Structure 1
């Protein structure tokens, strides 16, 4: 039996009625895999009096998010999401707010170059700065995390603010540190407790207070950038997201209930940073850990690059098809690191069907992304780092259907193309320029992830040796 109805679960599955068990499942997604062994790939747990449907394995995630995608586009406005976004912006909003903000943001990003050569050139320029940043370490031990975050975030800055920041800019560093605080709290046990007892959490100190203070700092940073744009005036041909949004506010201001205002603009920008910086930089961070753990794979990448790209020439997006093994490794980094683990929850906005099961309006759905990316029915060696998952027998790049790190359905990540381009250009250009190994004296490397909004590696140091 794949899905017990609600009455059956109340009498036959007491595990699902314990808030403590739900906390464990949310904070330790691997528990979902164990529950699925007993109850199948679609099952229900209870969050107090509320049913939560879990989708486990690629087929279940795909069926749940794409059979009737318009029925599962909602986002539950749980207490911490409300405190963080108050149903504004893109990532954590729902209903008409989400529809308007996502549609406008996607259209604007495309206008600004998403998927076009202009934006690719900007990413390539940022890749050059990143290579020079690594070169400045002169082969000495370093942790690559912050340098990667600076580079990825600067791409978003160019799109949103119209300019990049110096890697030495202290306010820019504070912005990225604030985003990191938010991500560390999101997905933690404290985050889940906040969602059950917000009235108590508001009265006591803890990491939730630090996360909300960080959120206020980020919004203040964004407001200052908006103010600079307002003072300069909106040009006839807006060249960044803020100017485009200000033009949209002006265009719709006389509507009875305008969907576009400064609070939504701030939250959309916040979401672009939240979704576009941490995820890509964390994936790259895992990637360089894997390279020092699997030096033979690193050597194979460099061999392929050397055969295709002339020495001293920056790798471009056009080279991706010529570098199938490199591309396969990058995809395997995304699959194996699985940084999002359980995807953000969805909400049924109307009664719907998943396979033969009726799911009521208002039911929360958790797509277990980890189970799709580690599904033994879809991957030859799911528990091993294996670039061959993305190569055919002739060495050509192939992308299996179960590769869904950007989710599925109508809430698929709107920056997936940007993230793919960033990861390819940053990763390949760094591997072309340097050989990486663990810092001398490093013994055991902990490859278990640190739980949070994204699954982070433990701190490690590497040396970037110029080739």
Structure 2
């Protein structure tokens, strides 16, 4: 009994010594929340987190601070100056993604969003060139968006001005835009495969956040053998890749390499061109992962932005009416709207920018990883350190915005009412890893919103004075489910 007591006491002493040694070796990192033995600061994730939690930590610890996940330091950059310095001055040094245990299991190191090195450079180059090509022509991206906007207007019209939850119609329409771009066709809402794809996407996104995810990154050797939502997320990732591979096989059967119509056609053409190149990373595994990522990135963020947009318009009828008047005065109701029209609609353009600033869709920016030792904000950050540029803190930086905590379209207007670009407006990131789908997202949000506003006045249901302002926190930040009335602006 005395031997066991001695061994336990010895173990406690050794753990304390190990902890103190760890604290000593980590003292050159920026300050941050309390780091506990074994788990670091993941105790933060065990409690309810507000959408501005990292901003609050920035106020407490400064514009650069460290959150420890187990023994892994994550350095967070807060505010415009720190984030801009990192993403623009050190773009190449921060062009890698962290290869964490869970993300590696999820993506197998393939695709664009979370890959690195030669694979990332080749896949991203293909993505940039192909998305540009798919944006052109009569069947280009804008045409697909206009078609889906028309479908969405029809769905809203069927509600006949009665309260409806806009989430599902918006999600289906936005997802069908990326389906048309990637697969060359849209899906019926009743399609079981499509529904399974949407279910998989939603679950994966919710799994990339919270205590279980942090625990997997800290103790992967244990979590791999335990049941839980992490296992379900990995299974759903396989389902998404299988869905992509089924579509790839269909394209092979009806191959049109000389006249590619969608992303899969272009990728198959690229594979054919590169088949004798030993350095090529163009293969079906990378293609399937790219498709999964484009579907997730092209669906959830834009869906969330549009949900917040209608939420804000219904809550601010004066702003909504002013937008509608500008659209009617400048374009009228007889002509179709195109993306170039935004130049003629400064107020509408300003409101859309302010929506994305005020209700930023991501919890924070996608993490980067140092490719070499860096000096950031006065601290020497070692090679391999994970860096989180908190884009939310940039969009709410009180030193850069006149009224950061208010929904104020004047942030993007000059004294003459003309639209003004702001360097602080960084919802899509910056540098080498700037969002691949940025242009597509801009086109979608503009055409969807203007199409809806021409047709409907969005109002709160009778008896509802205000909507729940709190956000649901996940990989992306969505509003709580809500209902509104899409009241037709005229009987025709």
TM-score band, normalised by the shorter chain? over 0.9
Aligned to 1:464: 486
| Residues in 1 aligned to 2:458 and 2:53: alpha-carbon distance in whole angstroms | 35
User: Residue 277 of structure 1: SS of its match in structure 2?
Assistant: helix
Deviation at 1:408, TM superposition (A): 1.1
More off after superposition, 441-450 vs 140-149: 441-450
Which residue in the other structure is 1:280 paired with? 302
1:292 corresponds to 2:314: yes
Query: Post-superposition shift, 1:414?
Result: 1.0
- Name the structure 2 match of 1:21: 41
| 1:65 counterpart residue number | 87
- Counterpart of 1:242? 264
Separation (CA, whole Å) in 2 of partners of 1:248 and 1:433:
42
1:411 to 1:23, Cα distance in 2 relative to 1, 3 A: farther
Q: Deviations over 1:86-122 (max 9, x none)?
A: 1100111122211111111111111222699932222
- Give the superposition deviation at 1:217: 2.0
Please give the secondary structure, in 1, of the residue aligned with 2:163: coil
SS of 2:407 mapped into structure 1: coil
Q: Is the 8 A contact 1:188 1:451 kept in 2?
A: no
Aligned twin of 2:327: 305
Q: Computing the radius of gyration over CA atoms, which structure comes out larger, 1 or 2?
A: 2
Counterpart-to-counterpart distance in 1, 2:166 and 2:53: 31
8 Å CA contact 1:16, 1:44 repeated in 2: no
- Separation (CA, whole Å) in 2 of partners of 1:443 and 1:311: 31
One of 16, 27, 30 as aligned partner of 1:8: 27
Answer whether contact 2:354 2:412 (CA < 8 A) is retained: yes
After the TM superposition, which residues 30-45 of structure 1 pair with which residues of structure 2 at under 5 Å, given as runs? Answer: 30-45=52-67
Alignment partner of 1:369 is 2:391: yes
Normalized against structure 1, the TM-score is what?
A: 0.93
The SS at the match of 1:70 is coil
Aligned positions of 1:439-450 closer than 5 A: 439-442=461-464, 445-450=467-472
Q: Is the 8 A contact 2:32 2:61 kept in 1?
A: no
More deviation in 368-377 or 437-446? 437-446
Show CA shifts across 1:417-442 (max 9, x none): 11001000001110110011122344
Q: What is the CA-CA distance between 1:256 and the residue it aligns to? A: 2.5
- Aligned equivalents of 1:188 and 1:91: distance in 2? 20
- 1:165-185 per-residue CA deviation (whole Å, 9 max, x = no partner) reads 233433222222221111122
The number of residue pairs the alignment matches comes to: 464
331, 352, 359: which one aligns with 2:374 = 352
* Structure 2 unmatched runs, 5+: 1-22
Measured at CA, do residues 11 and 351 of structure 1 come closer, stay the same or move farther in structure 2, by a change above 3 Å? Answer: closer
Q: 1:50 offset after TM fit, Å?
A: 2.9
Partner SS state of residue 334, structure 1: helix
Q: Which residue of 1 aligns with 2:428?
A: 406
Which stretch of structure 1 is more off in the superposition, 13-22 or 356-365? 13-22
For structure 1, the residue ranges without an aligned partner over 5 or more in a row are none
- 1:348/1:281 CA distance change after superposition, 3 Å: same
- Pick aligned residue for 2:292 from 270, 283, 297: 270
Task: Give SS of 1:272's match.
Answer: helix
User: Equivalents in 2 of 1:115, 1:272: separation in Å?
Assistant: 21
246 and 5 in structure 1: CA distance in 2 versus 1, 3 angstrom threshold: farther
Task: Trace 1:247-258 onto structure 2 (pairs within 5 A).
Answer: 247-258=269-280
1:111 paired residue number:
133
Structure 1 partner of 2:150 = 128
Distance 2:242 2:322 in 1: 46
* Counterpart Cα distance in 1 of 2:261 and 2:468: 44
| Candidates 398, 402, 426, aligned match of 1:380 | 402
| SS of residue paired to 1:244 | helix
Q: Which residue of 1 aligns with 2:365?
A: 343
Which residue in the other structure is 2:354 paired with?
332
2:64–2:377 CA contact under 8 A, matched in 1? no
Mapped to 1, the partners of 2:24 and 2:138 lie a distance apart of 48
Aligned-partner SS, 1:281: helix
Would you say 1:189 and 2:211 are equivalent positions? Answer: yes
| TM-score where L is the length of structure 2 | 0.89
Q: What's the Cα RMSD here?
A: 2.4
